[in-house]
A and B are shown apart, each in its own frame.
Chain A
Amino acid sequence: MKYGYYPGCSLEKNASAYHESAMAVCAPLDIQLQEVDDWNCCGATEYFSIDLLPAFALVGRNLAQAARNKQSNQLVAPCSACFLNLKKTDRYMADSPALAEKVNQCLAAGDLAYEPGSLRIRHLLEIMVDDIGFKTIGEKVTRPLFGLRVAPYYGCMTVRPDLGKSFDNPEYPQGLDKLMKTLGAEVIDFPLKAHCCGGHMTQISEEVAMELIRRLLKNAAENNADIMATLCPMCQLNMDAYQEAVNKRFGTDYHIPILYFTQLMGLALGLPTTKLGFGKEFIKAEPILKKIRKEAPRKRRKKRLSKQALPVPSMAEED
């Protein structure tokens, strides 16, 4: 399957592991990512709070460039902020013809134009979950992640706001959980999975950012996560690069490698770690990866309820 591909700035530098692993994983799954020609920064989270029209125009330019790809009308972004900005701009332009006209006036300066709605903006996780599917991925798994306890971390901007039902549930999504299970990993209960990592608050208020990062690490650690799987360069950076700072500040001793979900996919698909960007993370993943066993762990028996205990609600079986 062919898709337009908008890597975004992060994937060129700090999140190069994401880019490398995404590329490596897409090949065996027959996903062809065609990089948008001459793309520019999406404006990240800041530009929209400074000046709206240039912010929309900035993203509009990427949409216009991407729409020139006649082989696919789908545009994939691996970064949460890029994904949201592209999707938001497309939607707002569609909802407001006045905005669309203004943005197109700006784009006209560069001989570009964008017809809102002509591209379908997708996150890379969506492609894996909805287009490729767990069954196909499961069949390609050659080195299951048996015994690895993964905290599935979605962050906020991929799942919210829910512009057009990309994910199963914007508050408590399941797609990454199921993907990790497909890879053979043990997925921990991670109630903060869709909470904010602090984003660029690290540059604005360290106090706020540190507290937000601490909460997430604490929650993952308390649920015995070996590693955390992310789908956003910002989340990865905050959790990884500031982990030591958090430990220092709060007197904790967290040591949770933060990996991109594509890195874990590559691992399970039997690709060499050298092609998956391993080693670029601050909290090294290597020691933890030794935990991966060849045998599937035995299913833990359900705890027997005491005699007085009340029945636990039976929820609909996960598919």
Chain B
Amino acid sequence: MVREKVGVYICHCGTNIASTVDVHEVAAWCGHQDHVAVSRDYKFMCSSLGQDLIVADVEERGLTRIVVASCSPHMHEKTFRGACLRAGMNPYYLEMANIREHISWATNDKAAATQKAKALVKAAVERVVHHQALEPIPVKIEPATLVVGGGIAGISAALELAEAGYPVYLVEREPSIGGHMAQLDKTFPTLDCSACILTPKMVDVAQHTNITLLTYSEVEQVSGHIGNFQVTVRKKARHVIEDNCTGCGICEEKCPIKVVDPVFEAGLGRRKAIYRPFPQAVPKFPVIDVDHCTYFLKGKCKLCEKVCLANSIDFKQKDEVLDLKVGNIILATGFDLFDVGRIPHYGYGRLANVFTSLEFERMVNAAGPTQGTIVLRDGITAPKSVAIVHCVGSRDKKYNEYCSNVCCMYSMKFAHLVHERIPRAEVYNFYIDIRASGKGYELFYHRLLREGTHFIRGRVSEVTDAARLPAEEGKLIVQVEDTLIGAQRRIPVDMVILSAGLEARCDSQEVAQRFGLGCDFDGFFVERHPKLDPVATMTEGIFVAGACQGPKDVPTSVAQGAAAAARVIGSICRGTLMLEPVKARIHSELCSGCKICNNLCPYQAIEYHSETKVSEVATALCQGCGTCVAACPSAAIQGAHFTNDQVMAEIEGILWDKKGKEEEAAVMA
């Protein structure tokens, strides 16, 4: 083997690494190791000066391999590969040792940290001499994009992409786009009408020639990779022929079946068995709810078919399965409301006049079940006093530890709306802290204070109808420790609103798996970097936007939708993208054709050729996971950049101190 000349660079990362790892010692020690021609430590290797060090050393000292010991390769592998490239070296001659996340951030023990840093650097040096020059694989980027979820984040992303001139498929599970925002009446803090600002955007989506809108549809399968994803979408049968339907609404009007709508009306209102969730629904076509339609249950009725002048009812319609080809995917699947029934002592479901926040949103909505009138469950009586309970299911170790971000603001909006519609009503907000950190939000809080809302600081312990005093009879009593006056209080009210937190969608794990990305402990999708790359994910070509990534308000969701679109437009504009050449390859002369790998490959990237009786990896589909490499009984598969000699050398390197002792022991014996 040719003697390789390795340059080793130990980064201080300011004090991030240097305060725990003795970087000078590691660098000095490394200078005496095999293969190492240059060993340095430097304050910030990622700075341009740091990178220039590498370039200069390659040119002056003729280095052939580079090891940078710094942060995670997720962070700066690209940076240092760029430096290698500028120095005229194949970028895959670089290896990184992660001495920050894996060492300095994980311990305070300096001696142990320094010892481990030596092991990781030694491993990288031993490995890098076995590296082979690799060339990235160019892929063409399919200009179409899939946006999953038609809430405000998905709508924003779709419109940005369409306006830039690229085709978009917008897939929505419900019969209409609009998401949670379509359910709201007013939006904080400006109190502009949610429908007024949202419906024009929904109409734009429907009318845009670049957008293919697939509502009442779900993504079933995703394969491929950035630039070239194959997506299977199930378009559920609406039982309404979209080409014929004029959206006149006569079917809905005449349908004799009325059921509670648990989705759009949040259980507070009813809809028909053939329905559009709301009058401004996009698209305008209704769907038949087969679980409640008399025809589907009993085989007769067909009233909608009789009244439809456009012949658009089709009871025999089947689900349609569509295969789409897209270059990038944006997930904007939104959130679920915390199920307040999980806190039984707040009385929801037992006490009629306890409402969820989403029920109340529907109630105050001019197009909602009460046309915007605030009433008790009897539908007539206006409450004289209303309690709004913050942090229901949020900031609570028993349920969700995180803050749901929007509840303080919408709770204050509720208080304002009660004041506006029932002028003499008493409104109580029970809060832990008021979190009003957005633009103009604090001013809204002050406005509420002036309006006379009672703000009581303390977590509500119970909502009950068990009266103790005559004044409590017939009321709902909110029991709370008022932490500002240091006393237990019981406040009798007519209506209680539980400001439920935001949770990840109940099927977020499943969806994450389908698209090949990760979820955090709370089920929200994980972004590539929480600060610097908030809309990308660890999977190239898949982006996230809106509340599926964490609780978010409307402006932030819109911004994320646009941000994700901008990232996608960037890759489409480039036209081709260079893919990592870290792929598996089967040596056909060693392959026995046992087909074990064919079935194990999670990406269906291995094909068996029956005429030659060997298997072959389709490079474009291979994700470089290494499953087949490990499974092959004849060791016929090699993973580029993870070859056996590279990995073995790395292990030898890590165990450098053990190895010495073993040999010593052998000699002694």
Contacts and interface: CB of A to CB of B under 8 A. Distances in A.
A310 B377 contact: yes
B377 A312 contact: yes
A316 to B, nearest CB: 7
A311 B345 contact: no
Contacts of A189: 350
A62 B267 CA distance: 53
A172 B378 contact: no
Contact of A191 (B359, B379, B464): B464
A110 interface: no
A172 B466 contact: no
B459 to A, nearest CB: 13
Pick from A218, A219, A307, A313 the residue with the most CB of B within 10 Å: A313
B468 interface: yes
Given A172-B345, A189-B350, A311-B267, A306 B466 contact: no
A215 B469 CA distance: 10
Contacts of A316: 341
B322 interface: no
B14 interface: no
Contacts of A312: 352, 377
Contacts of A191: 347, 350, 464-466
Interface in A218-232: 218-219
Nearest to A193: B466
A308 B378 contact: yes
Contacts of A310: 268-269, 363, 369-370, 375, 377-379
B13 to A, nearest CB: 39
B466 A309 contact: no
Given A191-B466, A215-B468, A308-B380, A313 B269 contact: no
A171 B262 CA distance: 27
A292 B356 CA distance: 40
B270 interface: yes
Pick from A171, A192, A311, A315 the residue with the most CB of B within 10 Å: A311
Contacts of B268: 310-311
B200 interface: no
Interface in B265-294: 267-270
A169 interface: yes
A106 B379 CA distance: 66
A311 B356 CA distance: 13
B352 A219 contact: no
Interface string A49-87: 000000000000000000000000000000000000000
B349 A306 contact: no
B344 interface: yes
A189 B344 CA distance: 13
A203 interface: no
A314 interface: yes
B196 interface: no
Interface string B160-183: 000000000000000000000000
Interface in A166-193: 169, 171-172, 189, 191-192
Contacts of A215: 466, 468
Nearest to A192: B466
Interface in A252-283: none
A306 B378 contact: yes
Interface in A133-181: 169, 171-172
Contacts, number: 58
B188 interface: no
SS class of chain A's interface: helix, strand, loop or mixed?
Answer: loop
B348 interface: yes
B260 interface: yes
Contacts of B269: 310-311
Contacts of B347: 191
A311 B349 CA distance: 11
A266 B525 CA distance: 54
A189 B347 CA distance: 11
B348 A309 contact: no
Nearest to B261: A311
A231 to B, nearest CB: 19
A192 B347 CA distance: 12
A312 B350 CA distance: 9
Contacts of B377: 309-310, 312
Interface in B375-404: 375, 377-380
A172 B350 CA distance: 12
A192 B345 CA distance: 10
Interface string B353-380: 0001001000100000110000101111
A171 B370 contact: no
Nearest to B370: A310
Interface string B467-483: 01000000000000000
A244 B271 CA distance: 54
Nearest to A195: B466
Contacts of A218: 466, 468
A178 to B, nearest CB: 14
A308 B379 contact: yes
A314 B266 CA distance: 11
A311 B344 contact: no
Contacts of A311: 260, 267-270
Nearest to A307: B379
A315 B267 contact: no
B378 A314 contact: no
Given A169-B344, A172-B345, A189-B350, A309 B465 contact: no
A314 B267 contact: yes
Interface string A290-319: 000000000000000011111111111000
A169 B268 CA distance: 27
A219 B267 CA distance: 30
A172 B375 CA distance: 28
Given A308-B380, A310-B268, A315 B464 contact: no
B473 to A, nearest CB: 9
Nearest to B266: A313
A198 to B, nearest CB: 14
B345 A315 contact: no
A192 B359 CA distance: 27
Contacts of A315: 341, 349
A287 B267 CA distance: 45
19 contacts: A169-B344, A171-B343, A171-B462, A191-B350, A191-B465, A219-B466, A310-B269, A310-B363, A310-B370, A310-B378, A310-B379, A311-B267, A311-B270, A313-B349, A314-B262, A314-B267, A314-B349, A315-B341, A315-B349
Q: Which 3 A-B pairs have the closest CB atoms?
A: A308-B379, A172-B344, A315-B349
Given A313-B359, A314-B260, A314-B267, 16 more contacts: A169-B344, A171-B344, A171-B345, A191-B466, A215-B468, A218-B466, A306-B378, A308-B378, A309-B378, A310-B377, A310-B378, A311-B268, A312-B377, A313-B356, A314-B349, A315-B341
